[in-house]
Chains A and B, each alone.
Chain A
């Protein structure tokens, strides 16, 4: 199977979906130039400026504008350059996009995909590096997607665009140039389906977005010491595929959740709570979380390294889980 990069998976999904559906409009700041990382490169050449639209630097309005356009029958794919900037558009996202279907008693649908770069890397600092998936997952009416592989980036972006809800599509900047197998022709991935990236019997490690890679690295090192970890990539955080996670945990009896967002109030807390409700008796230890410390993202490359949890922290959590003595 041929290989491709994550960013090309996104670009391919946009090119292909726009060919299939004339109502799709790609909008955002600098999208005709390809955006800061080139995800929308080639779109304007292929589909022209009537379908690929540069917007002003007005996040509060362009989110709402995309919602209004979606109501009239367009299927907008809005790029928010860095997820940190979506804070300016939260009224339109949380109060309008997420609630319109409900508040109107089903009279409206908002088929809108919002792509946003997230995550730490390259010394971008506190305004360009956050992971805010827990905020979005907290809002009823939104779907939240965080792909890890190039094939998933393509398949899940296609599914997000075809979905009739507002989908937050979170792309980790550190994954853009990673390589992986191309998506097979006609292969689809539905929203809300987790995947087991590595099978194992001793412990379950769930990684979010780029942390799937960290979890896989940790699993390799653990295997050298006779611990076989199962690694789960949830792919979609809302709705969450709890069944896949719980069935793994029921077999291994241990769960470590790793994400790059700050640990406090992160999506890991929610997943941990749901797993312990569903599999308390099968758990041999408390669910362990690995996340960033409770601080803004630092800019210095040296501090960044400290901020983002690596395989060592995941391994440490695994060891704590396995060593845990449960009092009967």
Chain B
């Protein structure tokens, strides 16, 4: 289902999804030729992050987790600065002090990435508390994976959000399901006794929405509802967006196991390879989004390829920018320890 937006806006979301896909693919290729440290990619979850964050307004804040690249790109953070930050260059958003695990851009509403699993939930809850007590019509969004629900602070946070009716949205991207070995209807979460994640929320009285995180329209509708509730004084919402784990995320170090995405697979099934057939034919959320867009006749396949070519060139340029940038001077290591 497509988001209930204008055709132009839907195509804007498509472009953002392609930006994320190509950004991550370029990053994995880059990691093949040099040691850039550990990082996590957002491939497969584009159609959660893009429509979810599309609805935010200037001044809203999103607190994200280690699988963060897609979130920042969805809000328009320049790829060149992100690559530079990931490579530890002085042209990165934080001058190389944070890297992939701590990406932030206040200009785009990202105060920080907490890479301590579950670390962002108290921060996001506190920001919502701040908005409420300062009388600001702002919403705080907490983005996390299913693993964060194993941390105690998450339960403490949602308790406070419920009691104070805070304008916060807890968006859980449940990617605990491997693309391979999936059985129909089975969404187990890694190390939780709870089978259905929203059961954890019910006792706190916070409204829950469970959606297919690969269904852009469902994500759009759920976030719309949650934002309306937050902005109208109705308090918190918990959304579980169920996504499928991209096969390339299975190893500890991401690998381009499904290859660089050929978007033409969306309309030409003869291009779908035998290996990872299920992924390409059914599970890849971006390919699914493209099929839905084509079914609505919003754009011609050739125009999608042209858009992709443009984005791909931009990503390559962004990588070049980052590679050509300088490392920060040694003295920078001791700067900004204290305000």
Contact = CB atoms under 8 A, between A and B. Distances in A.
Interface of A: 23, 25, 50-51, 55-56, 58, 60-74, 91-92, 95-96, 100-111, 140-141, 143, 164-165
Nearest to A23: B134
Contacts of A51: 133
B338 A67 contact: no
Contacts of A107: 93-94, 104-106, 111
Contacts of B208: none
A69 B338 contact: no
Contact of A74 (B97, B119, B122, B130): B130
B102 A68 contact: no
B94 A69 contact: no
Contacts of B134: 23, 72-74
Q: Enumerate the 4 nearest inter-chain pairs by beta-carbon distance, A residue then B residue, closest first.
A: A68-B126, A64-B122, A72-B130, A105-B94
A74 B156 contact: no
A140 to B, nearest CB: 5
A281 B54 CA distance: 65
Interface in B160-179: 160, 163
Contacts of B98: 103-105
Contacts of B312: none
A328 B222 CA distance: 79
B156 A25 contact: no
B123 A101 contact: no
Given A74-B130, A105-B336, A61 B102 contact: no
Interface string B119-147: 10111111111110110101010000000
Contact of B97 (A63, A68, A72, A103): A103
Contacts of A104: 94, 97-98, 102, 104, 106, 111-112
B285 to A, nearest CB: 30
B338 A165 contact: yes
A46 B97 CA distance: 43
Given A58-B159, A64-B122, A102 B133 contact: no
Given A58-B159, A72-B136, A165-B338, A67 B130 contact: no
B114 interface: yes
A149 to B, nearest CB: 26
A69 B336 CA distance: 21
How many B residues are at the interface, by size bracket?
35 or more
B122 A63 contact: yes
Contacts of A73: 130, 134
Contacts of A100: 111-112
A151 B112 CA distance: 38
Nearest to B127: A68
A95 B128 CA distance: 20
Interface string B76-105: 000000000000000011110110001011
Nearest to B168: A68
8 contacts: A62-B160, A71-B126, A72-B130, A101-B339, A103-B112, A105-B97, A105-B336, A165-B339
Contacts of A67: 122-123, 126
A58 B153 CA distance: 8
Nearest to A73: B134
A69 B126 contact: yes
Interface in B320-339: 336-339
B321 to A, nearest CB: 18
B338 A143 contact: yes
B116 interface: yes
A60 B125 CA distance: 12
Nearest to B140: A68
A150 B321 CA distance: 57
Contact of A65 (B106, B125, B338): B125
B93 A105 contact: yes
Contact of B336 (A62, A91, A101, A143): A101
A141 B337 contact: yes
Contacts of A25: 133
A67 B114 CA distance: 13
Nearest to B95: A105
Contacts of B149: none
Contacts of B63: 68
B115 to A, nearest CB: 9
A56 B104 contact: no
Contacts of A108: 104, 106, 111-112
Nearest to B338: A165
A62 B122 CA distance: 7
Interface in B51-82: 61, 63
A104 B123 CA distance: 15
A103 B129 contact: no
